[in-house]
Structures are given as C-alpha cells and as structure tokens.
Amino acid sequence: MSGDFLPLAVTLSRASTRGCEVTALYSELRRPLLRYLVCLGLTSDEAQDVVQDAFVALQRHVESGGSQQNIRSWVFRVAHNRARNRQNSYYRRFRESFDAEAHAVADVATPERLLLEKEKFRTLEKALNSLTDDERECLSLRAGGLRYREIGEVLGAATSTVADTVERAVKKLAGKCNV
C-alpha cells in the first residue's frame, strides 16, 4: 500500500462538522478496509480506490441525513459491494493470479530459512484456498476488527452463522497448518 495519493481526509474535513466525524472514521478504518479488500483479491491500488469511493459515499450519505447507526459496518458493506463489482467487471477476469512467493519475507539470512519461509507461505496459501469464500470473508473481516454482528451486517448473515463460520475457518486453518 503505497500511500501515493492525497488523503481524502483533507477534502472531507472542510465539508461540515459531520465531515470531521467522517475524517476520524477514515483514519480509524482505512487500514483495516485496505487489508480486507486485498484479502478479497484486489490489488493495493484497486483497494485504495475502493476505500476512497466508500468514504465519498459515506460523506454523501451523512450530508443527505442518512442513518448513522452502525456506520462502521455500513462502510465495510459499501466497500465489500464495490470490491465485488470490480471483481465481476470484464478487465479483472484476465488479471494474473495471486503469487504468495512474491510477498515472501525478503530479509532472510540463509537459503535454508528462505526455503522454510516459502514453504510456510505455500502451506498457508493452500490452507486459505481450502476455505470457502464465506469463510475467507468472515475471517478477513474478523481480522480487520469487526464484531460478529458487524460482519453479519456486511455480509447479510445472522450473527450466529458468522460465529460458526469464523470458528470453522479457524479450525480448518489450524488443521491444515498443523497448529
């Protein structure tokens, strides 16, 4: 995540008193949203675009007097939907697949350690690929700090279903990674 863009907070803070609240929320949720969107399969640049689009939509929502109940899950839901729309668009269908080795730790001291790190990433990638889409999404949102209720609102699922899905995903990962 390069951070080579102008912060949205600059334009939002001038909009209104409520804009300050949106700016604070942007500061709090930007990184968890970026992580979640990258886990969904967006590139870091695409994830940054989606986050900014989601907060522009939030600013419009707030200015139009929209409901501010559980605004955090509202932002995640908007970002989630926009990410899915991007993934379904034509140009995304022909993009290269994720290469876990490209993201391996580069500061490895020995060839043996490098090999062990690559093997860990391969194991983790296989374990993550064995999860269903719902399990991956629930786990990513939970890792992003959302509560089960908020995850349920983002994904349109019951809280109990989210809890069961996260528990099942963790057990699958633990079993596949020998933890």
In this prediction, residues 52-78 reach a mean pLDDT of 86
In terms of domains, do 69 and 28 share one? yes
- Of the two residues 43 and 98, the one the predictor is more confident about is 43
pLDDT at site 92: 52
pLDDT at site 93: 56
Residue 16 reports pLDDT greater than 80: no
24: domain CATH number is: 1.10.1740.10
Residue from 48, 11, 4, 57 nearest 30 by CA = 48
pTM over 0.85? The answer is: no
Residue from 100, 89, 81, 93 nearest 154 by CA = 81
142: domain CATH number is: 1.10.10.10
Domain enclosing residue 47, as ranges: 1-98
**Residue written as token pair 């969904």:** 40
The total of structural domains in the chain comes to 2
Residue from 128, 116, 133 nearest 175 by CA = 128
Is 178 contained in some domain? no
* Interval 110-160: pLDDT, tens: 788 777 788 888 888 888 888 898 898 888 888 888 889 989 988 899 999
